[in-house]
Amino acid sequence: MPRLFALDKNFPQPIDAQLVPIDQIDERMSTLDDYELLLALRHHADPWDGLITTDSSMLAQGRELAALIQTRLTLVVAVASGHNPVKASGLLFA
């Protein structure tokens, strides 16, 4: 069950985002290369807007950048979080 929090009055209303792990979208996605994952998200039946990652190397790889431009997806990178999911989540919500 997802956690339930009340937002104080200082937060923008509404925060309208659904965050879904890629293996819950399709378990095969977790085995794809990054550029293949971007293409798979664009061609998926659900209208995905982008990908959130801790992999900042995607910003310097030709195939990934070409796929990002082609798909017009948004890429959010939690830079300087390493592969620490707690730190990356905090950066995302910050």
pLDDT score of 7: 66
Indicate the Cα dihedral angle 12, 78, 90, 16, nearest 10°: 30
Section 27-55 average pLDDT: 94
Q: How much is the pLDDT for 45?
A: 96
Q: Is the dihedral of CA 85, 18, 70, 31 positive or negative?
A: positive
pLDDT in tens, 45-93: 999 999 988 888 999 999 999 999 999 999 988 887 777 778 888 887 7
Q: pTM of the predicted model, to two decimals? A: 0.80
The reported pLDDT for the residue numbered 50 is 93
Task: Give the pLDDT score at 84.
Answer: 78
The token pair at 80 is 């300087």
**pLDDT (0 to 100) of residue 18:** 86
